[in-house]
Amino acid sequence: MTHRKGLVLDFGGVLTTPLLPAVLAFEEREGLSRGALINALYLDPEAVRRTQELERGSLTQDEWNAEAGRALGIPGENLLGRVFADLRPETSVIAAAAAARRAGVKVGILSNSVGLSPWNLYEGYDLDRNYDAVVISERHGLRKPEPEIFALVLKMLELPAGDCVFVDDTEEHLAPAADLGFATVHAREPRETVARLEELLGVALGGAA
């Protein structure tokens, strides 16, 4: 196997704990029925459009919060911060990314933003210091799975797709990356993800079975 020289990581659900348990805990705290958030915001076409605008930076987080709060019948104040209040760093994957960099692998972040204010998903992770390239969708007016945003992170890493691995917890983002030449990893369980990265990068990352 030819080992890859670059690693591109999604953020939420890859470098953090999974999103769905945080969403379910939010619903319980707010007295919502199970699945209410997903049904109201991610299965309704207009709500999906607003979320895509949020990711591109053409809708502010406050605007998204207000509309989503109305749809759910709850206060919109800092809604995304409340939804994802239970997210924590996924320390094993963060440590694996650091080990890859120490071994000479270029490591980038490619994340669909949910706005940066009033709640900042990335706060405390020091992305600019810990990674070789950081692409946050709203800063560029692009979002996954658009090919242009993958091309942007490759340009910043100065590597072709065929030299890189892409990791995401959202399966629909993987096929466009694979079409460009990335090796792809669907992040479902951290130990499994780290083990697969060891195979693809040819680097001991620690913690893999």
φ, ψ of residue 16 to 5 degrees: the values are -120, 170
The pLDDT tens digits of the residues spanning 104-151 come to: 999 999 999 999 999 999 999 999 999 999 999 999 999 999 999 999
Q: What is the pTM of this model?
A: 0.95
Helices (H), 33-189: 36-41, 45-56, 61-72, 79-83, 91-102, 127-130, 147-157, 174-180
